[in-house]
Structure 1
């Protein structure tokens, strides 16, 4: 009896399918942020006073834009153009920030200069007004001892002082007769000898070269030159420098005719200063 063999069946498997890779999400956030900040920074830079905001946003946008471009080159982002635009706007923001800072600071400096100029003009007007009051009060000058500029064409009285623009002050005392010694130079027989005290006070910020100071005198109504007398401590003149906040005093002697009623003393601190005259009664 024969046996029938049935063919052995093998299990059926589904055909092989390759495994799908997960889709990578584009990282476009940095490029987009750079674009937004660049736009805001550029608009802020158009306003000079907002230069600080434009500068800050420009720096941040530049960093984000460059990083976004690097991601796009690696294939991690797809908005390379957006990131590049953000970089360009960031550079524009920084340029506008620099220009705005320059414009703002220059405007502030100009305003400060104008204020200082206005203050100086006001002080000058006040000084001129005081000088006018001084000349109108008595026809001769102001109260003795005041540090004022003489009115144009007017001489100061004995004891008055003149103050220059840099706060250098010069004062001349009244003329006092004295008897020169036998060794005195510059005194003529029959004339009278007078001595005056010149005081220089340096209230400026720089030292003053006192050796440059020149003093001369004229006597009488005819304005005859009064020769300077040199006698021991009289007529030696100023020497050296006067430091800020200090003063120096020198006695000058002058020879005048016996009938002279006044002595006009002129003092010129140096070639940088105007000469000033004092009308001293004898």
Structure 2
């Protein structure tokens, strides 16, 4: 008995579905964060007192925005526009932070200056200063009226300035600033430093005017008088300088103005000739 031979059948293999690549998830977080922080930073910068917050958020938004743009260029993110907006807002927040810091610090500085000015007004106070050891008067000279010879001005830091009466003298033939026919006068200016800090005399200026018209009296440069103060005056010490001024022969008065420095008001003495 013969077996029935079956024809060869091809071997079948299992069928698998074609491989599908998983879609890449967009990494948009940094761009979105940059936009949010940039908006908050820019709004904070509109309030000068919040300049510090605007500056911090602006820097972070700038960094995140630039990083988000880099991801978008590499195809890792899809919100390039949002990242760019966050970057721009970060820069704006930083600019507002700088402006706010300047405004705040300037306002504080102005307020401190106003407080200091109200506490220690540099307007001079008048004393009866013919004797430097005499009691100091707290009264200020009347507005528009100069001091008399020998009077002293005591400033709020206890710096005292006094001017003596004018005394005639004869300049040498080599003196500068003296005009023939005019009279030469010596005036002694004394600075007493009773403050706690040394006083720099390099900024002290002394000027004079003569006559009823207030014509400038030229300073005489001669070996009998000095050009001005030099060096510093230590606390508790004093310095004296004799100035020479030239005035017309018919002048009846010599007005001397002394300004210790830019931090002090100038004071005037009306000296009878």
Question: TM-score scaled by structure 1?
Answer: 0.57
**Counterpart contact for 1:161–1:171, Cα < 8 Å:** yes
Tell me the residue number matched to 1:238: 225
**Counterpart contact for 2:146–2:269, Cα < 8 Å:** no
> How many corresponding residue pairs?
212
Tell me the residue number matched to 1:226: none
User: Does 41-50 or 237-246 show the bigger shift?
Assistant: 237-246
Deviations 1:54-108 (A, max 9, x none): 0111111111111112212222122223222222221221222122112212212
Give yes or no for the alignment of 1:163 onto 2:153.
yes
**Counterpart contact for 2:146–2:267, Cα < 8 Å:** no
1:110 positional shift? 2.1
Tell me the residue number matched to 1:88: 88
Tell me the residue number matched to 1:274: 268
CA distance in 2, matches of 1:32, 1:103: 31
Tell me the residue number matched to 2:202: 207
| Residues 161, 75 of structure 1: alpha-carbon distance in 2 compared, 3 angstrom cutoff | same
Deviations 1:166-200 (A, max 9, x none): 94623659xxxxxxxxxxxxxxxxxxxxxx99562
Q: Which structure 1 segments of 5+ residues have no match?
A: 135-140, 174-195, 217-235, 251-263
Tell me the residue number matched to 1:98: 98
**Counterpart contact for 1:213–1:238, Cα < 8 Å:** no
User: Does 73-82 or 58-67 show the bigger shift?
Assistant: 73-82
**Counterpart contact for 2:229–2:241, Cα < 8 Å:** no
Aligned CA RMSD, in angstroms, stands at 4.5
1:47 positional shift? 1.2
User: Does 160-169 or 66-75 show the bigger shift?
Assistant: 160-169
CA distance in 2, matches of 1:150, 1:237: 32
CA distance in 1, matches of 2:81, 2:28: 11
CA distance in 2, matches of 1:208, 1:24: 76
1:37 positional shift? 1.1
**Counterpart contact for 1:202–1:242, Cα < 8 Å:** no
Question: TM-score scaled by structure 2?
Answer: 0.58
**Counterpart contact for 2:72–2:80, Cα < 8 Å:** yes
Tell me the residue number matched to 1:31: 31
1:12 positional shift? 1.2
**Counterpart contact for 2:162–2:190, Cα < 8 Å:** yes
CA distance in 2, matches of 1:105, 1:17: 71
**Counterpart contact for 2:61–2:90, Cα < 8 Å:** yes
**Counterpart contact for 1:209–1:240, Cα < 8 Å:** no
1:202 positional shift? 5.9
Deviations 1:209-265 (A, max 9, x none): 89x798x9xxxxxxxxxxxxxxxxxxx843354332152377xxxxxxxxxxxxx99
Matches within 5 A, 1:163-182: 163=153, 167=159, 169-170=161-162, 172=164
Q: Which structure 2 segments of 5+ residues have no match?
A: 166-185, 194-198, 211-222, 243-251, 260-265
1:51 positional shift? 0.6
